Amino acid sequence: MVCVCVTALEPFPTVLEPRIHRPVIGSALTLRCRPPRSYPKATIFWGVENNFGLQQIETDDRITLDYNGNH
């Protein structure tokens, strides 16, 4: 028996102009994520780019990640 697995990842949408967010202290801010379709379903995380590459933002009481990948 031979098992063949196929994976697929469509490209992320192109961002022509990055959005600048100016949250109000004490108010909630939601960062939207529209990940491309993929199989199997992609693992989503938010990150910050620094001198060492992309560093994942850890979630806690103040920073959450919902099922759709919104922060």
Over residues 21-69, the pLDDT tens digits come to: 888 998 888 888 888 889 998 888 888 888 989 898 888 888 887 776 6
- Residue 39 lies inside a defined structural domain of this protein: yes
Split into its structural domains, the chain has a count of 1
Structural domain span for residue 49: 27-71
List the end-to-end C-alpha distance of the chain, in Å, as a whole number. 43
Looking at residue 18, what is its pLDDT? 82
- Residue 13 lies inside a defined structural domain of this protein: no
Cis peptide bond N-terminal to 40, omega within 30: yes
Quote the tokens at residue 29: 């801010």
- Residue 4 lies inside a defined structural domain of this protein: no
pTM over 0.75, yes/no: no
- Residue 36 lies inside a defined structural domain of this protein: yes
- Residue 10 lies inside a defined structural domain of this protein: no
